[in-house]
């Protein structure tokens, strides 16, 4: 049904995607050819093809049980990291992916996005400008596909997960896609500083193949739009449509949570909330299956 799938970023909110996918994918037998992902959305996409979601949640319960804070300000006096996120996240990716890394080769092509900094800004200035632009888009403009990052000169790069030769390479790629100071240090890819892929667009539809077909787009925060809506994207290819969509058109079905996902993006003190986020996704998945025929029917007559 869906030839391509998008996993938007969102940190811990991406547990909503895991719950949604675990309900919807088996029922619709979704076997996408291409997946695009940003930050934790990319991490989730990889996880779903290598591990069981419940196993990973139990892993995080154990990994985070002794982490009582999201910031240890006393570490400033000792010259140590104030925020524990980078250390915990990297080790988690290695532990989760490592034993099952070979399974990635049987997964769809997973394209993971990073944001390169504007050439006219230094690393520190670019981080500040990028974070300001990101938060304006998120909290003020609430745009589905932001533009401020690109106007500042941030530009995306997408790297295929299957091109990673070792699990360390995949962990580094996901972390580069998730790079959000101060929770992580400024990271580098091929010697060049990069930031979270969401600095350009947290919902990476531009990395999709520009071909006719149906695309499932899973976002993780609430936008002033219906919970499910279809965007008709005119493609560069005139033929090849299947499943009832018009030739030369890519039907992008966006779905967002029915309520605010009950966990903060970078909260590493409440692993039990991951289950609540997952459960909301599963519930929304059930409603999605019920409403799907009507949504596509309405789009066809729009």
Per the annotation, the verdict on 196 as an active-site residue is yes
High-pLDDT (> 70) share of the chain, % = 95
Please report the pLDDT score of residue 241 as a whole number: 46
Please report the pLDDT score of residue 109 as a whole number: 98
Q: How many CA atoms lie within 13 A of 105 on its CB side?
A: 5
Please report the pLDDT score of residue 142 as a whole number: 79
- Give the model confidence (pLDDT) of 214-273 as tens digits: 999 999 999 999 999 999 999 976 554 445 556 689 999 999 999 999 999 999 999 999
DSSP states of the chain as a string? --SEEEE---GGGGHHHHHHHHHHHHHHT---SEEEEEHHHHHHHHHHTTS-HHHHHHHHHHHHTT---S--TTHHHHT--S--HHHHHHHHHHHHHGGGGGGGGGSPEEEEEEEEPPTTS-HHHHHHHHHHHHHIIIIII--SS--HHHHHT-EEEEEEGGG-SSHHHHHHHHHHHT--TTTSPPEEETTEEEEEGGGT-SS-GGGS---SEEEEEE--S--SS-SEEEEEEE-S--S---TTPPTTEEEEEEE--SS--SS-TT--S-THHHHHHHHHHHHHHHHHHHHHHHHHHHHHT-
Which of 53, 177, 196, 284 is labelled catalytic?
196
Which of the residues in the chain have pLDDT under 70? Answer: 237-247, 299-302
End-to-end Cα spacing for the chain: 20
Please report the pLDDT score of residue 295 as a whole number: 82
Please report the pLDDT score of residue 141 as a whole number: 79
pTM of the model: 0.94
Please report the pLDDT score of residue 246 as a whole number: 61
Please report the pLDDT score of residue 171 as a whole number: 98
Tell me if 109 sits within 8 A of 162, measured CB to CB.
yes
Quickly name the fold that domain 4-239+247-300 has.
Cytosolic phospholipase A2 catalytic domain (3.40.1090)
Please report the pLDDT score of residue 237 as a whole number: 65
Please report the pLDDT score of residue 144 as a whole number: 87
Per the annotation, the verdict on 267 as an active-site residue is no
Please report the pLDDT score of residue 127 as a whole number: 80
Please report the pLDDT score of residue 180 as a whole number: 93
């Amino acid at each position: 049904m869906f030839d391509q799938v998008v996993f938007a970023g969102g940190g811990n909110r991406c547990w909503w995607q895991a719950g949604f996918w675990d309900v919807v994918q088996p029922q619709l037998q979704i076997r996408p050819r291409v997946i695009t992902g940003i930050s934790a959305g990319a991490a989730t996409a990889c996880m779903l093809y290598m591990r069981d979601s419940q196993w990973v949640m139990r892993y995080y319960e154990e990994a985070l049980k002794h982490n009582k804070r999201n910031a240890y300000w006393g570490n400033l006096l000792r010259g140590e990291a104030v925020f524990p996120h980078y250390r915990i996240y990297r080790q988690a990716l290695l532990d989760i992916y490592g034993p099952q890394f070979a399974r990635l080769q049987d997964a769809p092509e997973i394209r993971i996005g990073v944001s390169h900094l504007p050439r006219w800004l230094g690393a520190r200035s670019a981080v500040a400008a990028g974070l300001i632009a990101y938060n304006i888009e998120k909290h003020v403009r609430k745009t589905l596909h932001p533009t401020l990052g690109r106007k500042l000169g941030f530009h995306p790069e997408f790297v295929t997960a299957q091109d990673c030769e070792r699990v360390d390479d995949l962990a580094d790629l996901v972390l580069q896609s998730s790079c959000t100071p101060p929770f992580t240090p400024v990271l580098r890819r091929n010697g060049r500083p990069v930031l979270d892929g969401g600095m350009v667009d947290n919902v990476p539809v531009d990395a999709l193949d520009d071909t006719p077909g149906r695309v499932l787009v899973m976002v993780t925060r609430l936008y002033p739009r219906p919970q499910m809506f279809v965007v008709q994207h005119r493609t560069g290819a005139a033929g090849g449509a299947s499943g009832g969509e018009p030739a030369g058109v890519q039907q992008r079905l966006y779905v967002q949570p029915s309520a605010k996902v009950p966990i903060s993006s970078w909260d590493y003190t409440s692993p039990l909330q991951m289950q609540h986020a997952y459960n909301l996704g599963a519930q929304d998945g059930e409603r999605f299956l019920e409403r799907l025929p009507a949504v596509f029917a309405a789009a066809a007559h729009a």
